[in-house]
Amino acid sequence: MALESAGYQIVSLVGRNRQKLRKPSQLLDVSCQLLVAKELEKGRLGDLIIISVPDDQIVTVAGDLARIKGKGHPTVLHTSGALSSKVFASLAANGWHTGSIHPLASVSDPAGGVEALRRAYWCVEGDAVGIRVAKQVVRDLGARSFSLKSEDKPLYHAAAVMTSGNATALFDVALEMLERCGISRRNGQKMLAPLLASNTLNLSRSAPEDALTGTFARGDLATVRMHLSALKGKDLDEALQLYRLLGKRSIELVKNKIDSETADEIDKLLR
């Protein structure tokens, strides 16, 4: 949808099940060819092929493409955050231009995803042509791109998971803690979402050490004691471990802003 709105012609959608392709195809303004993988040789291929399957299926799809004869060598990009273009070694050996293009965006629904992709920073990597094509795609979407070494993609992607997926898991832990206070998960979500949004806004404007607020930023030793006692009293072992681990990182962030003795005391408590 984002590509179509940027003026790209979507020639074909390819999947394992033609019926499952009908729903996403209906989101496009112009009809396109729906192909199952075994029909690739008979179908139409565009100048750019984007592979957006699960990571462990990318090599299989690359093998399907490698069997296509007489259709030139379009550029092929995959959207994995952890894998590099090296998974396309067999295609590259046969003259294909290869790369990867990964958005730092959380997409959970199609309509909201279009805007998220436009606002995102995109990691692009690959051979010279692959990078050039990937950067052009990002520019056409109105977004921004950056490049890194192929070998650094797993660590880069782990950082993305830490920011997005793990933050969601941490939010779920907070909901569990509120449940022990008698607050339903639904109401807890309504209450905590604006807090998380305000923190995200702070981080968009300031460095982490300046964006941090609350107990650890103030060096509030008595409150840390109460928090630890409450977590132990409710048998929230996982939440307690997370509180200690992230609390130690918080103290590291602000250790130059609060009294050093207080920082040491809090660190001892957390350990």
Q: pLDDT digits over 117-126, tens only? A: 999 999 999 9
| pLDDT tens for the 271 residues of the chain, in order | 999 999 999 999 999 889 999 999 999 998 899 999 888 888 888 899 999 999 999 999 999 898 887 666 789 999 999 999 999 999 999 899 999 999 999 988 888 899 999 999 999 999 999 999 999 999 999 999 999 999 999 999 999 999 999 999 999 999 999 999 999 999 999 999 999 999 999 999 999 999 999 999 999 999 999 999 999 999 899 999 999 999 999 999 999 999 999 999 999 999 9
Predicted pLDDT of residue 38: 82
Predicted pLDDT of residue 100: 97
Predicted pLDDT of residue 72: 67
Q: pLDDT digits over 190-209, tens only? A: 999 999 999 999 999 999 99
> With helix as H, strand as E and coil as C, how does the chain read?
CHHHHCCCCCCEEEECCHHHHHHHHCCCCCCCEEEEHHHCCCCCCCCEEEECCCHHHHHHHHHHHHCCCCCCCCEEEECCCCCCHHHHHHHHHCCCEEEEEEECCCCCCHHHHHHHHHHCEEEEEECHHHHHHHHHHHHHHCCEEEECCHHHHHHHHHHHHHHCHHHHHHHHHHHHHHHCCCCCHHHHHHHHHHHHHHHHHHHHHCCHHHHCCCHHHHCCHHHHHHHHHHHHHCCCHHHHHHHHHHHHHHHHHHCCCCCHHHHHHHHHHHC
